[in-house]
Amino acid sequence: MTTTSLAKAARPGAERAAAGRGPWRYFLRHRAFYIMLAPGLLYFLVFKYLPLTGSFIAFQDFNIFKGFSGSEWVGLKWFRQLFQYPNFGRLIENTLIISLYQIVFAFPLPILLALMLNEVRQMAYKRIVQTVLYLPHFLSWTIVFGLSYMLLSPTNGLFASIFSGMGAEGGILQQSEYFRPIIIISGIWKEMGWNAIIFIAALAGISPSLYEAAKMDGANRWKQFLHISLPGLLPAIMILLLLKIGHILDSGFEQIYQFLTPAAFETGDVLDTYTYRVGILQGQYSITTAIGLFKSVIGFVLLVIANRVSRWTTGEGIY
């Protein structure tokens, strides 16, 4: 670049004028920016978009030796096979129930926690609580699994030794009826504090003068909560809820896979864990890609519907 073009580039007015003279000259003038962007865009293209478009193998009888272009097209064969597969219903049911439990039990708690923290007047106490509750977010699922395993170990875990004789034989971790509660509770343990941050930020963004005015008018804490805090939180709540609904068929593979034992398949085998076992381990790529595609389509449709409903009822939406 010559000095004159640099001087021109320094003036925003000059840029707009240059843009008018054709996109190619504009591009050349600002090529440094586009060169900087190139690696990032290439990354997203290769590692985010390519796998998405790679989903077309759900319509192929994909064979690793024949490759993407050589494999035979089979239309909707895998989808038909999927819907006829007797265990598919169980996979869907487990996935949906775990997701619904997460929405009903795990989703409201961070909101409650943020509201409770908001009422604490001693700043030092508030900071201590926050420090303790944010920590588990930074521990891996493996660590959380390890901690749960130690606590719930049938032979000498903490729970077994405290509640000995309370039907802990065989170990809670290996029993299918306890699988879902364990997933939900360990999820709450790990993420409740962290998920509260966004609500704490939203509460901090509410102007204190609103509360003062409400107090003048004689509103007690409950009324203040109902008429000031809750409306202030509503946009954040709706956005997160919508995103969660869009991901209702992803119930957290990393966590569930680690906690899952064959004894708990009845209640805990979800679409993702099945995809991993059958797809990655057994090499049935096409049918498991069909599951992935099914998940994306359902997720997208649900997101659109939920967004409509949300805009219609609360006026909030993500687009």
Partner 1 sequence: MRIKRSMGERTFDAVNAILLAICCLAVAIPLLYVVAGSLSSNEAIMHSEVRLWPVGFNLDNYDFVIHNAVFWRSFGVTIMIVVIGTAINMVMTLLTSYPLSKAWLGGRRPIMLFIIFTMIFQAPMVPMYLLIKELHLLDSIWALIIPSALSAFNMLLCITFLRSIPEELFEAARVDGMNEYRILWRIVTPLSMPINVTLMLFYAVGHWNNYLGPLLYVTDRAKQPLQLYLYNLISQFDMDSAGGESVLELSSRLTPQGLQMATIVVATVPVVIIYPFLQKHFIKGALLGSVKE
Member of 17, 52, 100, 301 binding partner 1 (CB under 8 A)? 52
The count of residues in the chain is 319
Q: Report how far residue 122's alpha carbon sits from residue 124's, in angstroms, rounded to the nearest whole number.
A: 6
* Residue list 62-121, contact with partner 1 (CB under 8 A): 64, 113, 116-117, 119-121
Q: Report how far residue 134's alpha carbon sits from residue 110's, in angstroms, rounded to the nearest whole number.
A: 11
Q: Is 314 in the site for partner 1 (CB under 8 A)?
A: no
Contacts with partner 1: how many residues (CB under 8 A)? Answer: 103
Member of 17, 28, 50, 304 binding partner 1 (CB under 8 A)? 50
Q: Report how far residue 101's alpha carbon sits from residue 63's, in angstroms, rounded to the nearest whole number.
A: 38
Member of 146, 170, 181, 262 binding partner 1 (CB under 8 A)? 146
Q: Report how far residue 172's alpha carbon sits from residue 178's, in angstroms, rounded to the nearest whole number.
A: 6
Q: How far is the CB of 56 from partner 1 (least distance, A)?
A: 9
Residues 6+ apart with CB under 8 A from 9: 1, 15, 29, 30
Q: Report how far residue 146's alpha carbon sits from residue 150's, in angstroms, rounded to the nearest whole number.
A: 6
* Residue list 253-312, contact with partner 1 (CB under 8 A): 253-254, 257-258, 272, 275-276, 279-280, 285, 288-289, 292-293, 295-296, 300, 303
Residues 6+ apart with CB under 8 A from 200: 114, 117, 118
Member of 4, 24, 48, 123 binding partner 1 (CB under 8 A)? 48
* Residue list 158-217, contact with partner 1 (CB under 8 A): 158, 160-161, 164, 189, 192-193, 197-198, 201-202, 204-205, 207
Q: Report how far residue 190's alpha carbon sits from residue 137's, in angstroms, rounded to the nearest whole number.
A: 5
Q: Report how far residue 45's alpha carbon sits from residue 36's, in angstroms, rounded to the nearest whole number.
A: 15
Q: How far is the CB of 312 from partner 1 (least distance, A)?
A: 21
Q: Which is nearer to partner 1, 138 or 312 (CB)?
A: 138
Q: Report how far residue 210's alpha carbon sits from residue 103's, in angstroms, rounded to the nearest whole number.
A: 30
* Residue list 236-255, contact with partner 1 (CB under 8 A): 243, 246, 250, 253-254
Q: How far is the CB of 138 from partner 1 (least distance, A)?
A: 5
Q: Is 156 in the site for partner 1 (CB under 8 A)?
A: yes
Cβ atoms 178, 151 nearer than 8 A: no
Member of 24, 65, 73, 138 binding partner 1 (CB under 8 A)? 138
Q: Which is nearer to partner 1, 67 or 86 (CB)?
A: 67
For 58, list phi and psi in degrees, rounded to 5.
-65, -20
Sequence-ordered strand ranges (E) for the chain: 60-61, 72-73
* Span from 1-9, 80-88, 225-233, 308-316 in contact with partner 1 (CB under 8 A): 1-9
